[in-house]
Amino acid sequence: MAAHRVTMRVEGMHCPDCGARVARALTEAGARDVQVDWRAGRATFTAEESLPPERLTSAVAQAGYRPGPVEAPRPAPAPQGPPAIVVGEAPYDLAIIGSGAAAFAAAIRARELGARVVMVEAGTLGGTCVNVGCVPSKFLLRAAEIFWQAGHHPFAGVRTQALGVDLGALIAQKQRLLDHLRQEKYADLIPAYGWEFRQGTATFADPETLLVDGQPLRARAYLIATGASPAIPPIPGLTEAGYLTSTTALDLTTLPRSLAVIGGNAIGLELGQAFRRLGSQVVLFELLPRIAPFEEPEISQTLAEALSAEGM
């Protein structure tokens, strides 16, 4: 059955969330490959011949916006092989490698300026913060705090119980939160702002050509926003013994009986305290004379006393 690329005017959109809602409404009504430019008041998508335009306009209206007439359909191009790259041509103004906070900030600003943008991601959309950084670590910290307070509050006559931790259930809840935030704060913004997203590994064939899983891609400018990964200290025997990083520790489903944390700065301190409060025995190692070495000495001393009081 033939498919057509269709454009619909949509009035009443005032922000990226509006664009995301319109994109969801059209997708649920049967449209595919929906791209919404909320600033321009336009939605572009692919629709089968059998899909009634009234269903699409009704879906947008039910989402709270005013749909305009649907543009006369044009046959969608038939699938073809890898596009040939012609020297001097640049289908995109900006190609971004990575999909974390910096990549999204750049893509949003570039689209606001009218640039044609493509984003390439080899792993999970969203980068460090939502997947393996701020969000999951603070989730674990808060859960550990609640459990610790249940068994260690200072009030006489208040009976509470801390019966144990099902780390597998806790991590499953964390993952549901991450999936929701990744969709709402990252994935939904792509059609709302109207850039292209490609899943694949990017390598440069030459200074002007990017390969995404072997397929050529050209842009006037390239932004590498791939972030970083944990540094592994060169400790003899560490690789053979096995180790966790700040990323893999957040995915444990069984609470370790004991944990050695190498590094006494922010990440080591917060993860060490979280696992201690959940029930692990934790020993912290820091090369410098004090923990939190980039803070004032008084802060380091206060932190050391507080953590020692909790059994670290």
Question: pLDDT by residue (tens digit) across 199-231?
Answer: 999 999 998 899 999 999 999 999 999 998 888
Matching CATH topology for 3-75 and 255-309? no
Look at the pTM and tell me if it is higher than 0.75: no
Question: pLDDT by residue (tens digit) across 22-80?
Answer: 999 999 999 888 888 888 888 888 888 888 888 999 999 999 999 987 775 444 444 44
**Higher pLDDT among residues 58 and 87, named by residue:** 58
Could you give the CA distance from residue 19 to residue 34 in angstroms, rounded to a whole number?
10
What are the tokens at 129?
């913060």
What are the tokens at 220?
């006037």
Could you give the CA distance from residue 175 to residue 181 in angstroms, rounded to a whole number?
10
Question: pLDDT by residue (tens digit) across 105-153?
Answer: 999 999 989 899 999 999 999 999 999 999 999 999 999 999 999 999 8
CATH number of 255-309: 3.50.50.60
CATH number of 3-75: 3.30.70.100
User: What is the pLDDT, as a whole number, of residue 85?
Assistant: 39
123 CB burial (10 A radius; 0-12, 13-18, 19+): middle
pLDDT classification of 18: cutoffs 50, 70, 90: confident
Could you give the CA distance from residue 169 to residue 189 in angstroms, rounded to a whole number?
30
Superfamily for the 89-227+242-253 domain: FAD/NAD(P)-binding domain (3.50.50.60)
pLDDT classification of 1: cutoffs 50, 70, 90: low
Where exactly are the structural domains of the chain? 3-75, 89-227+242-253, 255-309
Q: What average pLDDT score do residues 262-280 get? A: 97
